[in-house]
Every structure is written in structure tokens, then in C-alpha cells.
């Protein structure tokens, strides 16, 4: 049983809430904690936002590649049963374009993001942050983008300029986003 | 005692076994998926009535109906081991109307089909928002809902015919990466308000709970805000695992891979996140070596589904029928040519004609027995007209791989055989 007074207070509260976009005082879900968000917040953006601490070298990456990647992507990133990862630079405007990390990918950060979320195929998410840095270093070295003694980390990965960085032209409709919100 | 249902694919029991010799559908006539058709040529030959099978909890298809998807890999990679398949194509030649049964809806999955327990599934919404929320499926199903009938189409649909036309292809091979379902879920706009998305957040990262953690940046245009939904239902039932159970994004008119399946995270930002799928994968390489990015709408398209590849027809009356669609809006016109595009005739549109849904069309035709080429072309309410193959290739080039929407030609030989052709 609610007293008349309680009902009036509830109505006043509802009226206050209706000033926001929602007409009802919905109570769906619960606040996400910082700790759990950190577990899922895996995207890495071109400016380096999202890159974790740690680092890895080309040499470390070579060993990790042999153990985790070579079975599908072949020795040194080509000749495997899955996507070729190396070479193809200069082929994009020909009748037989070869799209690889070195010839096509515009951002090195995307490589970090993709390996961390999706590779190796049988056990996505199983590589440590350091191992992921090392793999990125190795794959970029195979493509002639970083030297053999490179060590990649939070401070330098996003600064790498990929050969096809300017190779993408956004559809005019989505170049500038506006909405009525 | 519960009787065992008839085993598929061959009828095994009772009167389902042959009366006059069961004839398997070895020759496929236009539009025929039901074996044993036209066996009874006198009413006396029609099997007598008798009590039927027990009622069941799940109604199966008739054992006389042979209909299924085809798992395939990339262009030209057919009859692959299911473990190597990257998509499974809908049997457009065997479907009627405009709705696809849920179990025959085409599929493109990037790391297999995860079996997710809805009790353990969570949706995280964060980024440029007032509130960062974790939602359960109970939360989401309790929210105000909407339903809408729309197509979803893989950007690769049609890619078999970029360079050559394999004569043995059916319309399932050439155009089976599209389906239309009624989707039910929560409007995206409700969630934007619920978490208080920042006015400066113009892009939304949507991420799946599959092994590939497929993630796409979705532009927050008015079209997306007004039409997108987080769907938990398809054709009146919970999503099938292949289509994202327990939750997927549905973006009417947008390329299939953006309709993120097994959705578990939405993150709001002020610019695109540049995931692998919107850079390396689903972009359109142009002849000059640059790639068109964020070509997100599925363009105006159509295909004749009967008569179509590997069917055969007889001279005389033939109904030409097919499906038309556009990710930009509603189909307003479908024209059919029976002389390879020299002359065109308006086809009839079967209702309901819905925006961003497949529309069935049909046209009467009397085939005179001479070699013919039948083609369809569609127009949408934004004025987009489906291009012929030549002008499409002139504009787009031959290496784009995705968003092939050129007119499809079926060549009919003097013997009535129907075959895939470039033009």
C-alpha cells in the first residue's frame, strides 16, 4: 500500500526524469566496473589509443610466428593455406593485385588490434600483449617496414607510416557524419 | 509409441514409397523442388487418403521437399569441406514469396558459429557515454521492442561473375548471399538515450563474441539512428546460432558484415576505429590502386530466380519470376528483357513491397523455342537503376571484389537449357 504522499513524490520524480530523453525511469542493466571494462576494451585506434604497456622485438616475433602462425600463413608470411601477409607492394593498380599487410593495410595499429582479437585462429586472445607487439614487429619487418633490430611498444607503434596509408578514399556519404541528435 | 519420422532425403515409409515407381527429381524443371511431381496423371492414380503421422513438437519439412543451403568458400571455390566454408548460400531458386525461412537464411561467419549461453551473455555499452552499462539478455528482452522485415546481404554476393561465367552455376551459387527475415529487437535509438551517448560521438564500434571478434565502425547518421536495432528474434523465434544468437545488430540496407552477430560490445567514439574489416577486407579496390572505403549501402539489385541456371524449360508459357532489392530504399520498378537487354518490359511487383526488403517480381512469357537471353533490372525510390555488366565494370573496374550488382543474364539454349552467362 502506498500513501498518497508517496505517490505524489514518485510522480514528481518521474516528472523530473522526463526532462531527459527517456520518458520512463528505466532501470536496465548495471554500471560497468573499470576492471571488467579493461578486460573487454581491446580496440586499438590509429592514434595509438588502446595500445597496452609492454613491447616486443622482431627476433622474438619470429619465434612466436613459427609456433603460432606458420601453419596457416606459411614460412615468412607467404605460401600458406590462409591469407598471404607479405609482399605485393606495387601490385594494387594492376590486374592482379596482391593485398597484404605490407601492400594494403593502412595502419600498423590495426594489425595489433586484429592479432590481439582474432589470432591465432584456434585460440584467439591467447597471446600476451608483449607477444602481440613482437608479432607485429616481425610482420612489419618481413614487409620491409621496420628494421631487423626494431622493438615496438606503446610509444612508437602508432608512429609507423604504412606504405598504403593514403590508399583509401572514404565514400562521400560517410566522409563527414552529421545527425539530428 | 511415437513413430520415427520419415528419413530424409528419400521417402522410406508407407505410401510415401512408390506407387508407380518413385521418380527422383533428376531433371530439374523450372521452379521445381518437389520430387514426384506430376506422377498422377489420372485422379485414380492419386494415393488414397489415410491417417497420417503423429503430431509432433517440431514440424519438419515434407520428405518430398529437397531444399538446403550450400556451404562455399571464395569465388569459384565450391563443393568444399564444410570446415573450409566461409559462407552458406540460400536456395533462391527454391524459395517462393519474399521471406527466407530462418534455417535457410544465408550465412557468412568469420570464425565458425559459437554456441553462446544467453544466461552468460553480456552486452557492454561504453565509450563516449554518460553511463557505462552491462546488460543481460533479460534486460534487453524487457525493453520496448520493434520488428521490421529487411534483407541482409553479404558484400560478396554476385562475386562469382566478376571475371567469367561458370555455366554450371545456379542462382543459389551466383546470388545466394542474401535473405529477408522479420527481425525483432530493441531500437538502437532507445539504447543511445538509455546510456546518454555524447552528442559528439559520431561512430559506434560494434563487436561480436565470435572467435574473430568481428568489429565494425557504424556511422551514427539519422538513417542508422532511426532504423538500426539490436535483434534477438528472426521470423518470430529467437535468433539461430548461425545468425548471432542471442543478439545481433541489424542495420537495414547496410552491408551484411556490419550486422554484427553474437553482439557483445558497443563503444562510442568521435571517428571510425579502423578495424581490419573496414580497411583490409571490406573495401573496394579501384583500377587506380586506391580503395573505396565505407561503401556501406547494398546497391539496387535483382535476379531472375526462375527460370535460372541449370533449369530447363519448354516452349510455350513460362512465368519469369525473381527477386529485387535495394539497400537505399524501396524497389519501384523491375524490368525484364527476353532478348539480352535489347527491349524491356515491366514486371509485376508482388506485395508487400517493403523498403530494404526483397521484393518478388513476375512476368508472363511465351518462349518460342529460339535461343534467348533473359535479364532483369531494378530501380529504387532514390532513382538508382541496376547497371548492365559492361557499364558496371567500366565504372568500378574488375578488382573491387565486393558490391557487384550488375544485371544477371541467363542464356536459354534451343534445347530449353538455362545457363549462367555474363551478358
Instruction: Give the CB-side neighbour count of residue B207, counting CA atoms within 13 A.
Output: 28
Q: B202 vs A105: CB contact, 8 Å cut-off?
A: no
State yes or no: pLDDT of A15 exceeds 70: no
- Among residues B211, B229, B214, B186, the alpha carbon closest in space to that of B273 is found at B214
Q: What is the dihedral of CA A89, A90, A92, A95, to 10 degrees?
A: -120
Task: Place B76 in a pLDDT band, splitting at 50, 70 and 90.
Answer: confident
B70-72, strands of its sheet edge to edge: B70-72, B87-89, B107-108
- pLDDT over 90, % of chain B: 88
User: What average pLDDT does the segment A17-37 reach?
Assistant: 79
Q: B135 vs A105: CB contact, 8 Å cut-off?
A: no
Q: A32 vs B134: CB contact, 8 Å cut-off?
A: yes
d(CA A160, CA B334): 50
DSSP string, B243-283: GTTT-EEE-TTB-GGGS-SSEEEEEEESS----GGGTTTS-
Nearest CA in chain B to A96: B399
- pLDDT over 70, % of chain B: 91
Structure confidence at residue A14 (pLDDT): 46
pLDDT tens-digit readout, B280-332:
999 999 999 999 999 999 999 999 999 999 999 999 999 999 999 999 999 99
Q: Which helix (H) or strand (E) holds B325?
A: strand B316-325
- pLDDT over 90, % of chain A: 85
**Low-confidence winner among B10-19, B146-155, B321-330, B377-386 (lowest mean pLDDT):** B10-19
State the pTM of this model: 0.91
Task: Place B33 in a pLDDT band, splitting at 50, 70 and 90.
Answer: low
User: What average pLDDT does the segment B59-83 reach?
Assistant: 93
State yes or no: pLDDT of B66 exceeds 50: yes
Least CB–CB distance from B279: residue in A107, A177, A180: A107
Specify burial of residue A34 (Cβ count, 10 A radius: 0-12, 13-18, 19+).
Answer: exposed
User: What average pLDDT does the segment B83-87 reach?
Assistant: 93
For residue B301, count other CB atoms closer than 10 A to its CB. 31
Q: B291 vs A167: CB contact, 8 Å cut-off?
A: yes
Chain B positions touching A32 (Cβ under 8 A) are 124-126, 132-134
d(CA B322, CA B310): 15
Structure confidence at residue B203 (pLDDT): 98
Terminal C-alpha separation, chain B: 58
Topology adopted by domain A46-168: Cytochrome Bc1 Complex; Chain D, domain 2 (1.10.760)
pLDDT tens-digit readout, A98-121:
999 999 999 999 999 999 999 999
CA triple B365-B99-B374, angle to 5 deg: 25
For residue B166, count other CB atoms closer than 10 A to its CB. 15
> CB-based contacts of A71: which residues, under 8 Å, 6+ apart?
A80
Task: Place A28 in a pLDDT band, splitting at 50, 70 and 90.
Answer: very high
Displacement of CA B324 from its chain's centroid (Å) = 11
Cis peptide before B9 (omega within 30 of 0): yes
**Residue A94 Cα distances to A105, B132, B400, angstroms:** 17, 47, 12
Instruction: Say which DSSP state B118 is in.
Output: G
Task: Place A122 in a pLDDT band, splitting at 50, 70 and 90.
Answer: very high
Structure confidence at residue A26 (pLDDT): 83
Instruction: Give the CB-side neighbour count of residue B163, counting CA atoms within 13 A.
Output: 8
Structure confidence at residue B38 (pLDDT): 64
Least CB–CB distance from B294: residue in A101, A118, A174: A174
Q: Determine the number of helices (DSSP H) and then strands (DSSP E) in chain A.
A: 6, 4
Residue with more model confidence, B127 or B28: B127
State yes or no: pLDDT of B347 exceeds 50: yes
Tell me the sheet residues that pair with B380.
Answer: B331
Structure confidence at residue A27 (pLDDT): 86
**B297: closest CA of chain A, how far (Å):** 10
**B206: closest CA of chain A, how far (Å):** 11
State yes or no: pLDDT of B24 exceeds 90: no
State yes or no: pLDDT of A8 exceeds 90: no
Tell me the sheet residues that pair with B179.
Answer: B152
Q: B291 vs A104: CB contact, 8 Å cut-off?
A: yes
State yes or no: pLDDT of B19 exceeds 90: no
Chain A positions touching B201 (Cβ under 8 A) are none
Q: A169 vs B398: CB contact, 8 Å cut-off?
A: no
User: What average pLDDT does the segment B334-354 reach?
Assistant: 97
pLDDT tens-digit readout, A142-151:
999 999 999 9
Structure confidence at residue B70 (pLDDT): 96
Structure confidence at residue A12 (pLDDT): 46
Q: What sign results for the dihedral spanned by CA atoms A138, A140, A146, A150?
A: negative
Q: Are B164 and B172 in contact (CB under 8 A)?
A: no
Structure confidence at residue B1 (pLDDT): 36
Q: B283 vs A168: CB contact, 8 Å cut-off?
A: yes
State yes or no: pLDDT of B87 exceeds 80: yes
**Helical H runs in A18-125?**
34-40, 58-68, 70-73, 108-118
Structure confidence at residue B178 (pLDDT): 98
Q: Which helix (H) or strand (E) holds B306?
A: strand B301-306
Q: Tell me the average pLDDT of chain B.
A: 92
For residue A100, count other CB atoms closer than 10 A to its CB. 22
Chain B positions touching A101 (Cβ under 8 A) are 280
Q: A110 vs B296: CB contact, 8 Å cut-off?
A: no
Terminal C-alpha separation, chain A: 41
Task: Place B40 in a pLDDT band, splitting at 50, 70 and 90.
Answer: confident
d(CA B142, CA B128): 25
What ipTM is given for this predicted complex?
Answer: 0.89
Task: Place B6 in a pLDDT band, splitting at 50, 70 and 90.
Answer: very low
Max distance between CA atoms of chain A, in angstroms, equals 79
Q: Are B153 and B323 in contact (CB under 8 A)?
A: no
Task: Place A22 in a pLDDT band, splitting at 50, 70 and 90.
Answer: low
Domain boundaries, chain A: 46-168
Structure confidence at residue B320 (pLDDT): 98
Specify burial of residue B368 (Cβ count, 10 A radius: 0-12, 13-18, 19+).
Answer: exposed
User: What average pLDDT does the segment B390-418 reach?
Assistant: 96
Nearest CA in chain B to A119: B212
For residue B162, count other CB atoms closer than 10 A to its CB. 22
d(CA B387, CA B406): 5
Structure confidence at residue B82 (pLDDT): 86
Q: Are B407 and B300 in contact (CB under 8 A)?
A: no
**A85: closest CA of chain B, how far (Å):** 11
User: What average pLDDT does the segment A24-38 reach?
Assistant: 92
Residue from A47, A174, A180 whose CB has the most chain B CBs within 10 Å, to mutate = A174
- Among residues A115, A103, A111, A92, the alpha carbon closest in space to that of A165 is found at A103
Structure confidence at residue B132 (pLDDT): 97
- Among residues B226, B19, B23, B239, the alpha carbon closest in space to that of B115 is found at B239
d(CA B166, CA B304): 17
Cell numbers linked to B112: 565458425
User: What average pLDDT does the segment B41-49 reach?
Assistant: 93
State yes or no: pLDDT of B37 exceeds 70: no
Amino acid at each position: 500500500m502506498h500513501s498518497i504522499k508517496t505517490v505524489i513524490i514518485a510522480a514528481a520524480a518521474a516528472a523530473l526524469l522526463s526532462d531527459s530523453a527517456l520518458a520512463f525511469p528505466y532501470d536496465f542493466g548495471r554500471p560497468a566496473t573499470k576492471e571488467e571494462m579493461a578486460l573487454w576494451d581491446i580496440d586499438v585506434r590509429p592514434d595509438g589509443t588502446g595500445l597496452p604497456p609492454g613491447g616486443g622485438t622482431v627476433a622474438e616475433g619470429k619465434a612466436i610466428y613459427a609456433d603460432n602462425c606458420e601453419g596457416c600463413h606459411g614460412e615468412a608470411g607467404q605460401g600458406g593455406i590462409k591469407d598471404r601477409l607479405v609482399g605485393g607492394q606495387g601490385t594494387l593498380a594492376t590486374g592482379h593485385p596482391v593485398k597484404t599487410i605490407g601492400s594494403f593495410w593502412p595502419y600498423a595499429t590495426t594489425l595489433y588490434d586484429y592479432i590481439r582479437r582474432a589470432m591465432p585462429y584456434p585460440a584467439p586472445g591467447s597471446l600476451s600483449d608483449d607477444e602481440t607487439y613482437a608479432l607485429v614487429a616481425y610482420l612489419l619487418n618481413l614487409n620491409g617496414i621496420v628494421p631487423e633490430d626494431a622493438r615496438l611498444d606503446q610509444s612508437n607503434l602508432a608512429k609507423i607510416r604504412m606504405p598504403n596509408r593514403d590508399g583509401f578514399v572514404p565514400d562521400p556519404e560517410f566522409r563527414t557524419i552529421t545527425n539530428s541528435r | 509409441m511415437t513413430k520415427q519420422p520419415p528419413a530424409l532425403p528419400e521417402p522410406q515409409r508407407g505410401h510415401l514409397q512408390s506407387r508407380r515407381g518413385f521418380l527422383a527429381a533428376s531433371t530439374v524443371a523450372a521452379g521445381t523442388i518437389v520430387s514426384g511431381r506430376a506422377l498422377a496423371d489420372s485422379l485414380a492414380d492419386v494415393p488414397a487418403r489415410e491417417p497420417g503421422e503423429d503430431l509432433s513438437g517440431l514440424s519438419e519439412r515434407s520428405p518430398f521437399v529437397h531444399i538446403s543451403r550450400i556451404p562455399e568458400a571464395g569465388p569459384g571455390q565450391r563443393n568444399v569441406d564444410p570446415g573450409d566454408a566461409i559462407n552458406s548460400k540460400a536456395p533462391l531458386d527454391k524459395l517462393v514469396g519474399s521471406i527466407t525461412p530462418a534455417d535457410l537464411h544465408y550465412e557468412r561467419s568469420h570464425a565458425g558459429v559459437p554456441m553462446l549461453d544467453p544466461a552468460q551473455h553480456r552486452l557492454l555499452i561504453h565509450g563516449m557515454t554518460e553511463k557505462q552499462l552491462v546488460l543481460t539478455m533479460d534486460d534487453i528482452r524487457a525493453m520496448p521492442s520493434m520488428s521490421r522485415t529487411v534483407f541482409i546481404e553479404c558484400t560478396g554476393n554476385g562475386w562469382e561473375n566478376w571475371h567469367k561465367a561458370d555455366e554450371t552455376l545456379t542462382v543459389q551459387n551466383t546470388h545466394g548471399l542474401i535473405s529477408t527475415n522479420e527481425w525483432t529487437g530493441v531500437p538502437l535509438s532507445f539504447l543511445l538515450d538509455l546510456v546518454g551517448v555524447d552528442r559528439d560521438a559520431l561512430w559506434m564500434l560494434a563487436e561480436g563474441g565470435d572467435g574473430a571478434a568481428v568489429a565494425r565502425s557504424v556511422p551514427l547518421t539519422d538513417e542508422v539512428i532511426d532504423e538500426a536495432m539490436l535483434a534477438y528474434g528472426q521470423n518470430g523465434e529467437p535468433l539461430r546460432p548461425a545468425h548471432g544468437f542471442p543478439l545481433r545488430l541489424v542495420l537495414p540496407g547496410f552491408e551484411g558484415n556490419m550486422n554484427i552477430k553474437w553482439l557483445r560490445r558497443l563503444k562510442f567514439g568521435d571517428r571510425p576505429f579502423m578495424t581490419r574489416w573496414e580497411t583490409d577486407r571490406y573495401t573496394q579496390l579501384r583500377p587506380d590502386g586506391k580503395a573505396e572505403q565505407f561503401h556501406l549501402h547494398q546497391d539496387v539489385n535483382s535476379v531472375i530466380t526462375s527460370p535460372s541456371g541449370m533449369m530447363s524449360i519448354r516452349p510455350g508459357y513460362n512465368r519469369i519470376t525473381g527477386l529485387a532489392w535495394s539497400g537505399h530504399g524501396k524497389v519501384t520498378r523491375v524490368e525484364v528483357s527476353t532478348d539480352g537487354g535489347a527491349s524491356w518490359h515491366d514486371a509485376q511487383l508482388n506485395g508487400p513491397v517493403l523498403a530494404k526488403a526483397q521484393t518478388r517480381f513476375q512476368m508472363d512469357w511465351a518462349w518460342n523455342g529460339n535461343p534467348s537471353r533473359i535479364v532483369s533490372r531494378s530501380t529504387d525510390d532514390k532513382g538508382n537503376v541496376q547497371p548492365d555488366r559492361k557499364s558496371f565494370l567500366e565504372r568500378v573496374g574488375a578488382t573491387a571484389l565486393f558490391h557487384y550488382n550488375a544485371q544477371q543474364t541467363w542464356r536459354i539454349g534451343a534445347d530449353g537449357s538455362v545457363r549462367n552467362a555474363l551478358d
